[in-house]
């Protein structure tokens, strides 16, 4: 499929590259994207076998998701070049839409990766190191199709520690979201590693949406439906947005007791743009 330049998923579900049996179950969750992971989910000794297993499975039966992507190993690792070459072949036959580049830190990395992939291939980049977050704006000016914030790797790079309220990553999370907005790139929010804690995922997703993220990385199928609820405007939000636009057209200054001005009109258009098709 052609994902297109408006690629802005509400959910991307990670599946370990060495577990092709899990790909068949992706369609049940109906994520906007699935990412077959050759990086963090696979031990160094199993990287090459996982690559062959994952790409053979993808070529045989494309998973049921809006976009199918492969997270390759990072630039400078022993597996990077072979990952890119193998991904390019599977993209050419239509079984894969693109790749995810982890730990993106230099614009030349994206330039070289795009040159090695077929035209139109989707590239998502991960900003998940101190340097990547600090240089988020010049990195995203290069216009990948989307970017995600990797909180766990970022804190590990800093030598900090994760806490339940996430205050230690709020600055970095906001920095990535802001840089993505300025570049016109879809921003995907951090993972919630407590995969069976639906309340924790929902609270984190709500905070991410409030910050301006357009979607969220999911580690478990249960998280996908919650991400869709949070990042899709509710009927009440859509009704309010329509009321704001109607009020602006007729010159009415208030909706539900709140003033309507140009900012609220812009926000209403943004809400309606995310309405389910």
Residue 241's pLDDT band (cuts 50, 70, 90): low
Distance CA 50, CA 70 (A): 12
pLDDT of residue 239: 59
Total-model pTM:
0.86
Residue 245's pLDDT band (cuts 50, 70, 90): confident
Distance CA 231, CA 18 (A): 30
Distance CA 187, CA 10 (A): 10
The position carrying tokens 């995810």 is 100
User: In the numeric block, which tokens belong to residue 141?
Assistant: 């000016």
Cα 103 to Cα 20, 156, 235, distances in angstroms: 25, 12, 38
29: left (phi over 0), alpha (psi -120 to 50) or beta: alpha
- The residue count of the chain comes to 277
The mean of the pLDDT values for the chain is 90
Share of the chain above pLDDT 90, in %: 76
Q: Taking 50 as the threshold, does the pLDDT of residue 257 lie above it?
A: yes
Give bridge partners of residue 161 from the DSSP assignment: none
DSSP 169: G
Environment class of 102 (CB within 10 Å of its CB; exposed 0-12, middle 13-18, buried 19+): buried
Distance CA 245, CA 165 (A): 36
In terms of pLDDT, which residue wins out, 116 or 23? Answer: 116
**DSSP strand pairing (11-16 vs 122-127):** unpaired
User: In the numeric block, which tokens belong to residue 221?
Assistant: 């199928």
Residue 89 CB neighbours (<10 A): 13
**DSSP strand pairing (186-189 vs 98-101):** unpaired
pLDDT of residue 250: 72
Average pLDDT over residues 197-209: 97
Residue 275 in contact with residue 238, Cβ under 8 Å? yes
Instruction: Name which of 11, 51, 7 is nearest 219 in CA terms.
Output: 11
Q: Taking 90 as the threshold, does the pLDDT of residue 235 lie above it?
A: no
User: In the numeric block, which tokens belong to residue 74?
Assistant: 């990072």
Residue 234's pLDDT band (cuts 50, 70, 90): low
pLDDT of residue 7: 81
The position carrying tokens 């990042």 is 231
Residue 80's pLDDT band (cuts 50, 70, 90): very high
């Amino acid at each position: 499929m052609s994902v297109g330049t408006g690629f802005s998923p509400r959910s991307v579900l990670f599946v370990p590259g060495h577990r092709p049996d899990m790909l068949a179950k992706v369609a049940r969750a109906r994520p906007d994207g699935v990412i077959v992971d050759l990086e963090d989910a696979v031990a160094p000794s199993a990287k090459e076998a996982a690559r062959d297993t994952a790409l053979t499975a993808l070529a045989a039966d494309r998973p049921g998701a809006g976009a199918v992507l492969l997270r390759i190993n990072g630039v400078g690792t022993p597996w990077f070049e072979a990952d890119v070459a193998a991904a390019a072949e599977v993209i050419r036959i239509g079984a894969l839409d693109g790749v995810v580049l982890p730990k993106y830190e230099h614009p030349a990395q994206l330039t070289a990766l795009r040159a090695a992939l077929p035209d139109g291939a989707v590239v998502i980049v991960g900003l998940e190191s101190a340097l990547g977050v600090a240089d988020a704006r010049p990195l995203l000016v290069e216009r990948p199709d989307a970017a995600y914030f990797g909180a766990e790797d970022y804190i590990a790079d800093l030598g900090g520690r994760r806490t339940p309220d996430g205050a230690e990553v709020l600055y970095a999370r906001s920095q990535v979201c802001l840089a993505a907005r300025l570049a016109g790139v879809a921003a995907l929010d951090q993972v919630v590693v407590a995969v069976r804690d639906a309340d924790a995922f929902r609270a984190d997703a709500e905070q991410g949406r409030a910050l301006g993220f357009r979607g969220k990385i999911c580690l478990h199928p249960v998280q996908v439906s919650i991400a869709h609820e949070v990042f899709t405007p509710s009927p009440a939000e859509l009704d309010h947005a329509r009321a704001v636009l109607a009020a602006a057209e007729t010159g009415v200054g208030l909706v539900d007791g709140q003033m309507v001005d140009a900012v609220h009109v812009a926000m209403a258009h943004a809400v309606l743009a995310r309405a389910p098709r």
